[in-house]
Each structure stands twice: as C-alpha cells, then as structure tokens.
Amino acid sequence: MIKTMWMKLLDILYRCKNWIAGLFQPLRLEKELEIEMQHHLAFSKEHYEREGMSSNAAKKAALKGFGNVESLKEDCRDSWGTRVINDFIRDCRYSARMLRNSKGFSFAVVITLALCIGANITIFSALYHLVLRQLPFEEPENLVRIHYVNKETASKKLNPGNFLDGASYSQYQDYKAETDLFENISLHYYLFRVVDSSQLKGVCATASFFDVMRVEPILGRFYTEEEMYPSTAPVVVLSETLWRTKYASDPDIIGKSFQFLNKPPLTIIGVAPQSLETLDRNIRFFTPYHYRLIEHERIPDSAFWARLKPGVSPNTVSERLLAIETHWNEEKADTQSKKMFERDQRRFRMNLSHPFENQLLMLQFGAFLVLLIGCVNVTNLLLGRAKKRQFELSIRHSCGASSVALGRMMFCESMILAFLGAIIGTVFSWVGLFSINNYLTSLDATTTAANLNATVFVWISVTATVISFLMGLIPLALLWKSGSIQKIDNSSRASSFGKGAKTFSNGLVVLQVAMTCALLIGAGLLFRSLTKVSEVDPGFDPSGVLQARIKLREVYEDRTKWVGVRNRILEVMREIPGVESVSFRYGTGDVFTKYTYSRYFAIRGVPLEPGEVGVRVHIKWIDGTFFETMGIPLLHGRTFFLGGDEPGRFIVDETFVEKYLPGKDPLVTELDRRSSLGGGRNDWGRIVGVVGRANLEGQDRPDGLPIVYQNLDNNEPLWGFLLTIRTTRSLDSITPEMQSKLKEIHPQLHLYDPMFLDEAYHDLNLERRGITWLVGLFAVLAVLLSAVGIYGVLSFSVEQRRREIGIRSAIGASRREILSMILVQGLVKTGSGLVVGIIASFYLTRFLESQLFNVSTLDLGTYLSAPVMILLISLLASYLPARKAVKIDPHEALRAE
Amino acid sequence: MTNHVFPKGALEMLIMKVLSNGSHHGWGIAQKIHLLSSEALTVEEGSLYPTLSRMQQRGWIKGKLGLSENNRQAKYYTLTSLGKMHLKQEQKRWEELAAGIAQVLKSND
C-alpha cells in the first residue's frame, strides 16, 4: 500500500522534473528523437538489404514497417507535455503578425478596450480606497462610531463632525456598563487649537479610545484614566505626522513640552501610529477627555467610538441605547431635559461609511456600462473579422486543427489585444486617478489620496483574461455552430452567417444602444440639475466679498477687552485702501453652513397653529454694515445702527414678510423669540427693516425658511467673529496688509482662513459638478462607441450582402432605395435599443434622485432630447455603410466570389 | 506467425523486461521481443517510440546517445531502479491476471 503511494509520488515528481527540463531544452528532445528514428529506419533498411531486397525496395519496406514518421513524432511530443506551451508560443507569434497586418482594426480594438478598462480602474480604485477598504485596525468590522441625530439633522446627510448634538460623560459611563454589547467604548470630540501660530486639529478622547482601536504607541505611552482628571499634570499624545513634520521624528520627544496658545504647557508623553489618522487626515494630537464636574453636560459634536462584541448587530445596540436614554429621561431627568428629549427625538446612528459612497457607486455603474458597451463593440468587430477568416479557418480545420486548436488561436489573438488594452488602460487610469485625487482632496479634507494597488492589478488581469476568452471564443463558437468551418466553402460570403450569429450580433447592438441611451439620459438629468443650481439667485453679491475668522479668546483672557479690540479691528480694516465696506457677524464656521440654527418666533397679532410653538426661522447675528458688505438689498426701513442700536430690534427678509405678514406693514410688527419648548421671555421687539432673500445656506439647500437678523453690535463681547470685507483687491494683495494691521494691535492676533465668498459659493457645487462631468464623459464615450458599433455591424452586413445588393441594383433598384434599405436597417436597430433604454431609464433614474435639483427623474425634455441625439448620430453612422452599399457595382459583385 | 493485439500496458512491461537484461536501442528492443517470443509477437516499430518517450518521462527508463553496431548514432535505453520496481509490479499483476483467466477457461461450468 505504502509502496504504491510512494511509486505514485515518484511518478509525479519525475514527470514534473522532466517537464521542466523539457521546457528549457526543447531542441534537445527533438534532435534526439530525429536521430533515433533515423537510426531505426537505416537499421531496418540494412536488415531488408541483407535479406536480398534492393536499396530502394528496402527503404520503402523500412518506412512501411515503421509507420507514419511525422504522426509518431507528434505522439512523442505529446508525451513531453511541452506541446501546449510550444503551440501557444507559436500561436502568439502568428497572432501578433496577423494583428500587425491589420493595424486599423487592432488599433480600434485596443483603444476601445483601453478607454473602457481605464475608466473602470480609475473609479474602482477610488471606490476601493474610500469605501471598500477596511480601516487599518484589528477586526474593523466590529468598530462603530455612534452619534446622535435629532429630528432636524436626521434627514440630512451630514458628514461626521457636523452635528450640533453631543454626548455627555454620564452617558458614557452608562454605556460602558453594557458589557454584553461593547468590548470597549470611548467618548471623543474634535477640537482646534493654535500651536505656534498655526491651527491644528486634534482629538479629545477618553483613555479607552486607544483600547477601542487596539493600537500601540510608536513612542512613549498613551494617557490613562487617571490623567482624565483635571488635577493631574496635563499631557498630550502627538500624531505620527506631527511628530514627523514638526519635530523631524525626534526620538527624544518624550517629556518635551507642547503648548496651545495662551494655555498652560502640556507634556508630550507619546506618539500615536499613523493608522489613527485614517479617521481624519488632519488629526495632529490627542488629549485626555476631562472629567467634568457637570456630568450631564453635553459637549457639542462629541460621539462614541466603540468596539462591539463579535456577533452583536448595530440594531441591537441602537435599541438598547435608546432604551437606556428613554429610561433615564423618565426616571432621572428634569422637566427641561425631558421636554428637549421628546422634542428632538434623538436617535442613534452608527456608521463607518464614507460620505461619497453613493456617488462613487453610481460612477462605478456608469463606468461598468461603458466597459460593457466597449466589449460589445469589440466582440462585434471580432465577429466580423472571424467571418472574413472563415475560409482560412476551415482550411486549418481540414488539415487537422481541432476546435480546441482553433479556439486556442483565436484566444491568443484576443488575449494580446485584451492585455494591450489593459496595459494602456492602466496608464490612462494613472492619469485619471491623478486628477480625481486633486478633486477629492478639495472636496473632503479628511481623505487621503487613492492609489493603484496590487488588488486592483489582480482584478485587471482577471478581467482582461475573461474578456479575451469571451472576445475570442464567442465568434468562433458562432461560426462553428453555423457549420461554415466544417466545410470548406469558398463562396462563404454568399452563405448566411448562421442565424444564431446574426441575432447575437444584432442583439448586442440593441443592448449597446439601450445602455448608451440610459447613460445619456442620466447625464442629461444631471446637467439640467447643474444648470438649475447655477441659475439660483444667491440674493447677495458674493464677488468681492472677503471673509476671515478672528479669534479673540486665545489672545485676550479678559473678556471686557473683547468689545474694544473688536471695534479697533474694524476701524483699522476700514483704513486699508481698496476696502469699500467692513462688517462682522457671529459664527466661526463657514458662511455656508451645512447645519442649521433654527428658532421660533411668535408674531404679535398673528395667531399660531394649534400645537405650534411659533414660526420657524433661521437666525443670523450681524452688525449694521452686513447688508451693504454682502450686497443684500434693503427693501424697507433701515439697517441696524452702527456701534449699538436699541435692544429688541429685528430685521427680516422678504420671505418672512411674504409668508407671515402678507398685506401687513412689517415695520410696525412685533416679534418675540420663543424657545422650542414653548416658553418665551415675553420680550417683544420690533422689526425695523426688510431685506432681500439671501441664500446663505448654499444654492441647493433652500428649505424655504425665512431669515431673521439680530444685532450683534450691542457691545456684546464675542470671543471670535467672522470679519467680512467688500474689496476690489485680490486675495494675495490684501491679506498681508490685513495681517499686519492685526499684528499692530496685538502680535498674536491672526487672520484665519481668509477667502473670497464667490470661491466658496462656487465650491459648494464642486461635488455636483465633478459627478456631472464624469457621467457626461461616460455618456459621450458610450455614444461614440455605439456609433462605431452600429457602423461596424452595418458595414459588415453590407459586405456580406454584396451579392444580394448587386442583384438588387442590377434588376432596377434605385440608389435611393438601396440607401434607405440600409438606413432603415440601422434605424430599426437603434430604435429598438432606444425603446429598451428609455424603459430602463424609468427604473434606473430612481438612483439618481439624490443628485438631482429641481429636475424630476422623468423630465420630458431630457427623455426626448437624448434619444433624438442618439438617433441622429446613428443615422450618420449608418449613412457611411449605406453609401458604400450604393456604390456597389452589380457586375463586380456578381463576379467576385 | 500471428500478430496479436497488445493489451494495454503489456508493451511497456515487455520493453522493461527486455531492458532488464541489458541496454538496447529502439530497433534492438523490437527485435528482441520478436525473438524472445519465438516470433509470436511483432511490435509495430514506430509505435515503440511514443511508448519509450512516455516511459522516459516517468523515469522508468533512461536514454543516452551512443554509437550503434553500424557506426551510426542511436539512442540506447537502460532500465532504472524505479523501472525495476514497476516491472516487478506489472509482472506480478500480469501473472495473476493470466492465472485467473486460465482458471476460468479450465472450469467446466
């Protein structure tokens, strides 16, 4: 038994060894075979001669006794096992020569494939990098980020870090106790601090944060639970990037001091690995979450990172946490919190998904469609070519090439084309990724660049191989089925291609057109949205408006100084030449905020709906020159007085008047600010002015809420404000001057993120524009490919029907009749494709809905114009072969076989 | 002198047996089989070579170029130790098979 196994093993080993040896010395085996066979024949011949035959007779007898030399040689070669490879190499050489001979065809195929594959690689790499790739932590599938959403924010797709709601330490403690759900949980929020006059973003987290992520420090250690108490010495952990860039990877960094502006110095106790920066690319430091005396205080924008116990689903966690909250509110909360809880309907949301997921998936779909269309084209081209070579193939078959051998030959050809296409496509995608990276990083500062990586290459090779198979073998299979290879048929052009092949080819074209139609409609809808968005009147004049942040808190600890400094700053800014108007407003975020501050007001004399607390509006705090600086027109009344106005004065916009005061005189209306819980201070104020509607939240997010403006200038100390300037000068010319004026007031005053509003306004659309243009590009590609496809199929058909067309024209068909015959053929194919495409679009555009603005998914204009465009182009594509058909000389056609 | 059709594997066994008594070239092997069987078995000469090639691939025999009797270059084959093992195994199997067949033929049922 063992002996048998042993012998089997040896058998295999010997065969492998000899096979490999054969690969390296193919000629030796051949030579030896030739020698020994020749020897055998000579020996045999001599044997027969000795028996008395003549030399010639002996030779013949020897050969007869031996058998068919070549055939026997083939059998020997079979046993060597190298035959496959040798044949393959030979096929490849032959294919390469054939392809070189038909340069036009090869070029068309390679370029088509390169474009399609390139597009797919680019999008897929981005998708993989941003969405599919795992977080670089252990068991990332168990990591979740838990945050609150309330009624207002729940429906919006907000980036992490854009929530008003936060969590409290006592919640953290409660959740920590749920040990059957969480292996570990931590609480954190992001903060910005100035270090050596540059602003850094960092994480303030509980000590358990590092345990949740299961990371080890590169240097030193992480902070502990004890260090979360304010009495301990303040410490900080640096991120790897900060350590590398600012401290040049100094190995002795531990123990050195790190200081935020105007805060006591911190001791550096460790350096965190770079993997933590995948959570947010801008993280530079980690500080302990300080235990708060007020445990229930919610820090805005805080959230939990948790590692779930394996097998625990997010839904379970969500329900449990909600139950805890509800219970707490019923048992322990005061009435105020209770009401807030009910009002806000806080829920939990957990995700790790990336904000661009949907868009990228959509783009991937589009790119895939283009790839399919390209493949269809190429297959049709190859089909035509195979038909041309039918004669050659049938000769080969009769000489002994099996279907396998023929298949191998066709596969070789298509493999060379596919791999060439894949290589060039990779080059294209490298370029494509380069531009996408620029676009991505300007969209979302937290992402890192996407790169081509090994997985992608593997996928490309697999795809290319699969494509080669399909492209090479389908035409062959069709020809084989039609039987035209099995018989040598010189008049092969006259015979039908085989019904199967023809239907297949036509079906492919119809599919192509359908996909193109769907893509084009999608692109059309997106473009219309883009146009609609840019048509939105912002309501103010963003060009020439410069905005920058100024933070007083970090420079002046004494609050009483803030008002004076602020006024001084405004004064010196006004002195700068080229500045037309200066104002300030509250807020340290962008002008175009992604989240909303909405409040409720009661209007004197306007009854409220039952159950309503008041009318809902946006509030903005500004000074008197705001409208002038922003270019918002003043319609009635006046703006706020500079340097202070009477308390209780409001300015509203025209939407407010239209909605709530139709037919009334706004300037005598009184308003009272109401809290969302229904109570008010009964502090009625008066409207003193009405201004035009300004889209300060961005063009595509109008929620129809009116804006009420309140005066900031009433000597209220603000720890920071947004400086807004109208100027004719450029950013580069005015910013240094502004900075130096600030420095004259105090050397540590700094102007943060100065930028022109029109750039920011324009950038709001960046995402939308990028996607629209990409889909548009795909659509154009698809249209071109489809046109080529129709042209190819029709001209092939004309070739095939040469004889028939010749006969037709000989018996009297006019040029026009022949022309229209071919054109109709093309139109029928296109038409059926369009019908399928339009129907498909009804369903598919549903997925686009989130991207559209003021355009319905069934927008008639797009659904009409896209097919018409395709129809025109396919007419053109059909016209060329039709012309060729017309030019067929009946005499020649009938003569040529 | 009748030509029998060779059952599968028998040719290899016979070649190995011939080579166990000394190395031969292809023609020599065919001749030897013919002689040793008292001219009962004739090998179709050409078909020898693919079989020899196969056996060589599996390491049962080893081939080397040398000068033959008529001063021509020929390939001489020798049996390897692995081949010897296979020969023994095949021989045993063949004898069992032959005995079994003979027994059935002898019985009178």
Q: Which residue has the higher pLDDT, B99 or A85?
A: B99
The whole-angstrom separation of Cα A260 and Cα A251 is 22
H or E element that contains A74: helix A69-80
Q: Which residue has the higher pLDDT, A367 or B105?
A: B105
The whole-angstrom separation of Cα A786 and Cα A779 is 10
Q: Is B24 a member of any domain?
A: yes
Q: Is B1 a member of any domain?
A: no
B40 with B2: CB under 8 angstroms? yes
A309 with A259: CB under 8 angstroms? no
Residues 2-31 of B with CB under 8 A from A: 25-27
Residue with tokens 């720890």: A719
The tokens of A312 are what? 């625990």
pTM of the model: 0.64
Distance (Å) from the alpha carbon of B105 to chain A's nearest alpha carbon: 31
Residue A337: the pLDDT is 59
Residue A157: the pLDDT is 44
CB contact (8 A) between residue B58 and residue A80: no
> Model confidence over A777-799: pLDDT tens digits?
888 888 888 887 788 778 777 87
Query: Residues, chain B, total?
Result: 109
Mean pLDDT of A656-684: 76
- Which residue in chain B is spatially nearest to A19 when comparing CA positions? B57
CB contact (8 A) between residue B70 and residue A72: no
pLDDT at A237 over 80: yes
Q: What is the domain range of residue B79? A: 10-106
Q: What is the CA radius of gyration of chain B?
A: 16
- Which residue in chain B is spatially nearest to A6 when comparing CA positions? B82
The whole-angstrom separation of Cα A564 and Cα A30 is 100
H or E element that contains A303: strand A303-308
Pairing of strands A670-674, A707-711: unpaired
- Which residue in chain B is spatially nearest to A70 when comparing CA positions? B46
A412 alpha carbon, distance to own chain's centre: 35
> Model confidence over A746-767: pLDDT tens digits?
887 888 778 888 877 777 777 7
CB contact (8 A) between residue B45 and residue A79: no
The whole-angstrom separation of Cα A351 and Cα A354 is 8
In 3D space, the residue among A767, A786, A778 whose CA is nearest the CA of residue A523 turns out to be A778
Residue A88: the pLDDT is 78
In 3D space, the residue among A637, A29, A769, A804 whose CA is nearest the CA of residue A359 turns out to be A769
> Model confidence over B70-105: pLDDT tens digits?
788 888 999 998 889 889 988 898 899 889 999 999
> Model confidence over A816-850: pLDDT tens digits?
888 888 888 888 989 999 999 999 888 888 877 77
Residue A407: the pLDDT is 77
A312, A392, A827 from A882: Cα distances, Å: 66, 28, 12
Task: Give the whole-number percent of chain A exceeding pLDDT 70.
Answer: 85
Nearest to A15 among B57, B63, B65 (CB): B57
pLDDT at A339 over 70: no
Helix axes A766-800 and A103-127, enclosed angle (nearest 10): 150
Residue with tokens 């494939």: A113
Concatenate the DSSP letters of all residues of A101-117 into one string: HSHHHHHHHHHHHHHHH
In 3D space, the residue among A271, A245, A241 whose CA is nearest the CA of residue A256 turns out to be A271
Contacts for A294 with CB less than 8 Å, ≥ 6 apart: none
The whole-angstrom separation of Cα A180 and Cα A317 is 10
Segments of A591-747 assigned E as strands: 598-603, 615-622, 634-637, 649-653, 670-674, 685-691, 707-711, 720-727
pLDDT at A230 over 80: no
Burial class for A507, CB neighbours closer than 10 Å (0-12, 13-18, 19+):
middle
Query: Which of A8-17, A379-388, A831-840 tops mean pLDDT?
Result: A831-840
Mean pLDDT of A362-380: 80
Mean pLDDT of A479-495: 60
Q: Is B34 a member of any domain?
A: yes
Residue A283: the pLDDT is 87
Of A306-320, A599-613, B18-32, which range is least confident? Answer: A599-613
- Which residue in chain A is spatially nearest to B47 when comparing CA positions? A72
In chain B, how many domains are there?
1
The whole-angstrom separation of Cα A582 and Cα A575 is 10
In the 8-state DSSP scheme, what is residue A728? S
Helix axes A26-50 and A55-66, enclosed angle (nearest 10): 130
As beta bridge partners, residue A807 has none
Mean pLDDT of A190-204: 81
Query: What is the pLDDT confidence band of residue A442, given thresholds at 50, 70 and 90?
Result: low
pLDDT at A51 over 80: yes
Residue A835: the pLDDT is 93
Contacts for A610 with CB less than 8 Å, ≥ 6 apart: none
Mean pLDDT of A358-384: 78
H or E element that contains A811: none
- CATH for B22: 1.10.10.10
Tell me what ipTM this predicted complex has: 0.85
Mean pLDDT of A256-282: 85
Question: Residue A496: how many CB atoms within 10 A of its CB?
Answer: 10
Q: Which residue has the higher pLDDT, A375 or A715?
A: A375
Residue A352: the pLDDT is 52
Contacts for A327 with CB less than 8 Å, ≥ 6 apart: none
CB contact (8 A) between residue B53 and residue A66: no
Query: What is the pLDDT confidence band of residue A348, given thresholds at 50, 70 and 90?
Result: low
Number of H helices, E strands in chain A: 27, 23
Residue A587: the pLDDT is 65
Burial class for B61, CB neighbours closer than 10 Å (0-12, 13-18, 19+):
buried
**Domain ranges in chain A?**
2-81, 140-351, 357-534+766-895, 545-727
pLDDT at A156 over 50: no
Query: What is the pLDDT confidence band of residue A333, given thresholds at 50, 70 and 90?
Result: low
Chain A residue numbers with beta carbons less than 8 Å from the beta carbon of B70 are 42-43, 46
B35 with B55: CB under 8 angstroms? no
The tokens of A729 are what? 């000068």
> Model confidence over A390-429: pLDDT tens digits?
777 778 888 877 777 777 777 888 888 888 888 888 888 8
CB contact (8 A) between residue B45 and residue A65: yes
Q: Is B14 a member of any domain?
A: yes
Pairing of strands A266-272, A235-239: parallel
The whole-chain average pLDDT of chain A stands at 79
The whole-angstrom separation of Cα A478 and Cα A384 is 11
Distance (Å) from the alpha carbon of A86 to chain B's nearest alpha carbon: 17
Contacts for A77 with CB less than 8 Å, ≥ 6 apart: A83, A86
In 3D space, the residue among A778, A763, A885 whose CA is nearest the CA of residue A824 turns out to be A885
Query: What is the pLDDT confidence band of residue A340, given thresholds at 50, 70 and 90?
Result: low
Q: Is B4 a member of any domain?
A: no
